[in-house]
Amino acid sequence: MKAESGHILFKEKFKYKDLAGVFEELLVAFLDETDQKPEDEEVLQMFLRVNLMDLEKNRKPEGFNRRGRMKLVFPICGPKKEMYIRADSKTTEIVRIAERLSKILKKGGVTHTVEWDKLSSAEP
């Protein structure tokens, strides 16, 4: 199966701070899978620190929305609490990566569902 985006939808009672315990593993897995892991360990630690500060305050994190082949996004608008992975075109990588992140979340006790290609044409 190919997809342009993989959406991880969190359940109603979800709080962003629920991700704090698994976020480092989640982000490192995403960066490894997409070959976007910074060479400098300090840069990686900065990405983690910025996101974890938000999560600990129960705020939506930044994710990884840098210039690159794939993004890990926590959308600003919309009623749903979700995160999604997006590529520039349909690819089997999106499916594989979303499923890996889903396994990390399940292992960490974060209840969610996964959907594919749910971006509206207005979203970046």
Higher pLDDT, 81 or 67: 81
pLDDT score, position 67: 79
For residue 83, tell me if it sits in a domain.
Answer: yes
Q: Domain count of the chain?
A: 1
Any idea which residue has 């991700």 for tokens? 19
Task: Retrieve residue 84's tokens.
Answer: 């999604």
Any idea which residue has 């982000």 for tokens? 27
For residue 121, tell me if it sits in a domain.
Answer: no
Kindly report, residue by residue over 32-46, the tens digit of the pLDDT. Answer: 999 999 999 999 999
Q: Give the domain extent around 23.
A: 3-116
For residue 38, tell me if it sits in a domain.
Answer: yes
For residue 61, tell me if it sits in a domain.
Answer: yes
For the residues of 76-97, what is the DSSP string, one character each?
Answer: SSSSS-EEEEEEEEEEHHHHHH
**Are 75 and 123 in contact, with CB atoms under 8 Å apart?**
yes
Task: Answer whether 0.85 is exceeded by the pTM.
Answer: yes
For residue 122, tell me if it sits in a domain.
Answer: no
Kindly report, residue by residue over 2-28, the tens digit of the pLDDT. Answer: 999 999 999 989 999 999 999 999 999
Which amino acid does the sequence have at 104?
I
Can you tell me the mean pLDDT for 55-83? 89
For residue 52, tell me if it sits in a domain.
Answer: yes
The pLDDT confidence band at residue 124, using thresholds 50, 70 and 90, is very low
| Gap between the Cα atoms of 120 and 107, Å rounded | 30
For residue 123, tell me if it sits in a domain.
Answer: no
| Gap between the Cα atoms of 114 and 1, Å rounded | 14
For residue 77, tell me if it sits in a domain.
Answer: yes
